[in-house]
Structure 1
Amino acid sequence: MTFEEYVGSRGPALIRLARLLTGDDHRAEDLTQEVLARAYVHWRKISRADRPDVYVRRMLVNANNSWWRRRSSRELAVDTVVDRPQRGDLSGEVADRDQMWRLILGLPDRQRAVLVLRYYEDLDDATIAQILDCSPVTVRTHAMRAFANLRERCGIPAKNGSRP
């Protein structure tokens, strides 16, 4: 597969992944362009990999994490300030789309990446582990911590011994 064919077939999915990771359309397009520029230079090596898409997704996740580390401030401009979401459950009022994305964007990078890769990219734990360069057990741990964080931010008490 040529680089042009790859970008033609997988480009929109990469931009979607970047949007979910960054929460910003413009930053997502810049991030995807940056990653594809680096991938182009190394395309001969990437295309020989068993799963080039996993390799490029990993580049995208790593580039997003590097961008966050480089920022001097993680403050985001918002229209309104929300002290704490009202108590509720994730399937009810608190789960409206905008509120949920604010909660997801507030998660640590790895936890957010695991949720996005699992539930929006529909990848299994082994593939996510490959992309994030960790073990499948670590992927599951990040997912459990992400759900615990979301519950806490929504004011839902954790049940003793329960799993998300």
Structure 2
Amino acid sequence: MDVEAQENFREFVANRSSALLKTAVLLAGGDRHAAEDLLQNALIKAAGRWQRIDEPEAYVRQILYRQQISRWRLKGRRRELSVAEPPEHAAAPDASSAAELRLVLRAALSRLTARQRTVLVLRYFEDLPEADVARLLGCSVGTVRSTTHRSLARLRTLAPELAALGPDGAEQPPSRDFSPVEVRP
């Protein structure tokens, strides 16, 4: 790599590494150390081909996705930890506190499988269409749809306090019951 290419690579890393790290953290289920490893490996691979890369950020993101796919394939299914008594449920976070909601969401995402988490990150964080997600993951669009559906259902089960949020992030009013009521004189 010549001096100019090295300078371009350093500039790219300085400008884009924080955004790429956010994606890596989501892909790694909130594990910052694993995300840093994922990003570092992706940048090492990109550095080796730097002079031939047309769109560096897209290239590094592609490496991140593929490395995460490789990790979940090698890792296999994680076993759940069995305990004698179920853990107590934590109190629902205040919907106005964005920091608490992020923590709840991160914890719920970390309990999803790597494949489920990757599909959700690609679909909703990266805002990719289903066809692009299918192409990146090497599966069919139907698999992406079903995995997205199951992942969201699992996420709702793991973090029911997130269900109170509407699409705009505002808390929804409680639903009203309009069933008939018997009135006695």
Structure 2 length normalisation: TM-score? Answer: 0.59
Corresponding residue of 2:62: 58
Q: Deviations over 1:128-161 (max 9, x none)?
A: 23332333333222111101222343579xxxxx
Contact 2:134–2:141 (CA<8 Å) still a contact in 1? yes
Letter of the 1:30 counterpart: D
For 1:33-48, what aligned pairs fall within 5 Å after superposition?
33-45=40-52, 47-48=53-54
Contact 2:108–2:158 (CA<8 Å) still a contact in 1? yes
Q: Deviations over 1:56-108 (max 9, x none)?
A: 223112223434555699589xxxx973758x9xx89xx93323222211111
Corresponding residue of 1:150: 155
Unaligned 5+ segments in structure 2 are 162-185
Letter of the 2:67 counterpart: A
Supply the distance in 2 between the matched residues of 1:74 and 1:59 (Cα, whole angstroms). Answer: 23
For the residue of structure 1 that corresponds to 2:128, the secondary structure is coil
| Shift in CA distance, 12/155, structure 1 to aligned 2, threshold 3 Å | closer
| Shift in CA distance, 135/85, structure 1 to aligned 2, threshold 3 Å | farther
Please say which structure displays the higher CA radius of gyration.
2
Contact 1:54–1:127 (CA<8 Å) still a contact in 2? no
Residue 13 of structure 1 pairs with residue 23 of structure 2? no
**Residue identity (%):** 38
Contact 1:32–1:60 (CA<8 Å) still a contact in 2? yes
Residue 122 of structure 1 pairs with residue 135 of structure 2? no
Aligned length: 146
Corresponding residue of 2:165: none
Q: Name the Cα RMSD after superposition.
A: 3.8
Structure 1 length normalisation: TM-score? Answer: 0.65
1:27 to 29, 34, 58: 34
Supply the distance in 2 between the matched residues of 1:72 and 1:131 (Cα, whole angstroms). Answer: 19
Unaligned 5+ segments in structure 1 are 157-164
Supply the distance in 1 between the matched residues of 2:41 and 2:15 (Cα, whole angstroms). Answer: 18
Contact 1:54–1:130 (CA<8 Å) still a contact in 2? no
Shift of 1:113: 0.8
